[in-house]
Amino acid sequence: MSNEFPGWHGTTIIGVKKGGEVVIAGDGQVSLGQTVIKGTARKVRRLSPGGTDIIAGFAGSTADAFTLLERLEAKLEATPGQLQRASVELAKDWRTDKYLQKLEAMLIVTDGKELYVITGAGDVLEPEHDVTAIGSGGNYALAAARGMMDSDKSAEEIARAAMAIAADICVYTNGNLTVEKI
């Protein structure tokens, strides 16, 4: 038997860009080992630094994600209207700062025009096919959404349907969604 702390598991966050709108959706499940601790967590947030609307969704440690969201807001206030630049600056800090390097989270961010995934490895990724997903059920949601991108469904309908599929497959994902749209 291991004495290791079981760790927080799971979540699924998806970003879909289609028809002039961008949607980020996330489930509400927080698990500790094999136990669901909370089923209604809010992992998708609307930020408004300097009056600019930004939506961010996070997977990973909640405290770490909040630290990153605060840093992102500061970067956005320093570079108003420049999501890409703020994201790159955050990723650079995350990769090089000894404190930030220990943070375990990933972010999907959008300003309604651009859609990015920001990682602790210093990556700011713009997804192909206008859809991206992170977290334990991310690959399931991504595959489902990619399969629907050529349909008549809206960005929100695709995000909701893909999240439902991920929730059916991934035990660390539930159907309690937070959906934000720009």
In a domain, 154, yes or no: yes
3-state secondary structure of 31: strand
Q: In total, how many domains does the chain have?
A: 1
Cβ burial, residue 125 (10 Å; 0-12/13-18/19+): middle
- Out of 2-6, 69-73, 157-161, pick the least confident: 2-6
In a domain, 2, yes or no: no
The answer to whether 48 touches 16, Cβ cutoff 8 Å, is no
First to last CA, the chain: 48
Angle at 115 between CA 167 and CA 138, to 5 degrees: 20
| Residue range 135-162: mean pLDDT, rounded | 97
Catalytic-residue membership of 11? yes
Q: Which of 11, 12, 79, 132 is catalytic?
A: 11
In a domain, 182, yes or no: no
The Cα 26–Cα 58 span in angstroms is 8
In a domain, 113, yes or no: yes
Query: Domain limits at 42?
Result: 8-173
CATH number for the domain spanning 28: value is: 3.60.20.10
pLDDT tens digits for range 90-119: 998 888 877 677 777 889 999 999 999 998
pLDDT tens digits for range 77-86: 998 889 999 9
